[in-house]
């Protein structure tokens, strides 16, 4: 059978148009997080990113990659410009990012098999510190500026119950004449050590982290505050992501634990048990944190 020339040219143009549109739609799926250890985080995230990308091929996804942001502002810019498709991090840090770029919370991640956690503020048992009021004029150690459990959650719990805390560069720096102060320790082990050695008056981290890292010194520490529980990690998407893609992504994430390949990918992703929709009461709690988190990142 021979096509007439005009018909043949029309068919050829249509085929080329379809090919071009499919090529234009094809893209890499980029998963991002915030960390000061980009190599370590990339190794943790990359196998998961590739598995997730394979489940989204019908959405034009051809592969998965990872981008590690330096800080909240950097991640906000990556989401706003579409350089990151999926952002996975602790919830209050994610709210801080959301305050800057309008990203949307999509799902809860059961990191290391844990759906939620709470933070604590603690001091040496023999310090005489028994309540938040006793922290007036004292030095508190937080973990790092982009930690939900080690900074945002306990800092918000302190709130305005004591005088504003001044930031110090190190525990040995001169303290302000009035009011309390805080310093970043870098990790939970440092926080515990600084409290035990008296370099700081109190420390903050997740309750799970305190029990895990304090070991035999746990009985020498007194918990003076326990916060409300929040999700261990959440998944966010850019502000302008199409609703249809969000629905497909949520479906893929929440069914991943139902297949052998999916469970294997989850296990390799820092022992993630599963993803699920954020429960309504938890989502309402996070919404209450939105304004205070925005104020905190604005004022330091």
Q: Kindly state whether residues 107 and 237 are assigned to the same domain.
A: yes
Does residue 10 belong to any structural domain of this protein?
A: no
With cut-offs at 50, 70 and 90, classify the pLDDT of residue 73.
very high
> What is the domain range of residue 205?
119-227
pLDDT of residue 295: 85
* Residue 99 to residue 284: CA distance in whole angstroms: 16
Distance from CA of residue 108 to its chain's centroid?
Answer: 10
Q: Is there a contact between 205 and 149 (Cβ–Cβ < 8 Å)?
A: yes
With cut-offs at 50, 70 and 90, classify the pLDDT of residue 53.
very high
Q: Kindly state whether residues 44 and 190 are assigned to the same domain.
A: no
* Residue 141 to residue 105: CA distance in whole angstroms: 29
Q: Kindly state whether residues 92 and 129 are assigned to the same domain.
A: no
Does residue 2 belong to any structural domain of this protein?
A: no
Select from 201, 227, 253 the last residue of a domain.
Answer: 227
Does residue 143 belong to any structural domain of this protein?
A: yes
Does residue 13 belong to any structural domain of this protein?
A: no
* Residue 93 to residue 103: CA distance in whole angstroms: 12
Q: Kindly state whether residues 131 and 170 are assigned to the same domain.
A: yes
Q: Which residues contact 242 (CB under 8 A, 6 or more apart)?
A: none
Q: Which residues contact 152 (CB under 8 A, 6 or more apart)?
A: 92, 93, 96, 293, 296
pLDDT of residue 25: 54
Select from 184, 202, 227 the last residue of a domain.
Answer: 227
Q: Which residues contact 88 (CB under 8 A, 6 or more apart)?
A: 31, 32, 33, 45, 109, 233, 234, 235, 236
Q: Which residue, chain included where needed, has tokens 């893209």?
A: 27
Does residue 165 belong to any structural domain of this protein?
A: yes
Select from 202, 227, 252 the last residue of a domain.
Answer: 227
Q: In what order do the strands lie in the sheet with 119-124?
A: 166-167, 181-184, 139-142, 202-206, 119-124, 221-226
Q: Kindly state whether residues 104 and 242 are assigned to the same domain.
A: yes
Q: Kindly state whether residues 241 and 100 are assigned to the same domain.
A: yes
pLDDT of residue 13: 44
The enclosing domain of 167 has a CATH number of: 3.40.190.10
- Average pLDDT, whole number, for the chain? 90
pTM: 0.79
- Split into its structural domains, the chain has a count of 2
pLDDT of residue 14: 46
Residue 42 C-beta-side C-alpha neighbours within 13 Å: 9
Q: What is the pLDDT of residues 245-291, one digit of tens each?
A: 999 999 999 999 999 999 999 999 999 999 999 999 999 999 989 99
Question: Which 8-state DSSP code applies to residue 223?
Answer: E
Does residue 45 belong to any structural domain of this protein?
A: yes
Q: What is the pLDDT of residues 140-184, one digit of tens each?
A: 999 998 889 999 999 988 886 776 789 999 999 998 888 889 999
């Amino acid at each position: 059978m021979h096509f007439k020339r005009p018909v043949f040219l029309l068919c050829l143009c249509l085929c080329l148009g379809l090919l071009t549109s499919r090529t234009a739609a094809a893209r890499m799926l980029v998963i991002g997080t915030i960390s000061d250890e980009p190599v370590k985080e990339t190794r943790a995230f990359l196998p998961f990113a590739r598995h997730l990308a394979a489940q989204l091929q019908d959405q034009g996804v051809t592969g998965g990659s990872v981008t590690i942001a330096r800080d909240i502002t950097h991640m906000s810019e990556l989401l706003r410009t579409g350089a990151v498709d999926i952002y996975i991090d602790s919830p209050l840090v994610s709210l801080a990012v959301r305050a800057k770029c309008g990203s949307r919370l999509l799902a809860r991640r059961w990191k290391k098999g844990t759906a939620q956690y709470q933070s604590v503020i603690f001091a040496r048992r023999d310090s005489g510190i028994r309540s938040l009021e006793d922290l007036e004029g004292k030095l508190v150690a937080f973990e790092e500026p982009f930690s939900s459990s080690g900074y945002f959650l306990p800092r918000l719990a302190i709130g305005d119950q004591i005088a504003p805390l001044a930031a110090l560069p190190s525990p040995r720096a001169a303290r302000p004449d009035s009011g309390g102060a805080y310093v970043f320790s870098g990790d939970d082990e440092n926080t515990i050590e600084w409290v035990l050695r008296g370099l700081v008056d109190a420390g903050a981290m997740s309750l799970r982290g305190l029990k895990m890292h304090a070991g035999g010194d746990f009985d020498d520490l007194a918990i003076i505050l326990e916060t409300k529980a929040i999700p261990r990690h959440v998944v966010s998407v850019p502000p302008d992501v199409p609703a249809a893609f969000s629905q497909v992504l949520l479906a893929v994430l929440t069914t991943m634990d139902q297949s052998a390949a999916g469970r294997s990918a989850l296990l390799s992703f820092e022992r993630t048990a599963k993803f699920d929709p954020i429960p309504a009461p938890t989502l309402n709690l996070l919404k209450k944190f939105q304004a205070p988190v925005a104020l905190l990142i604005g004022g330091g």
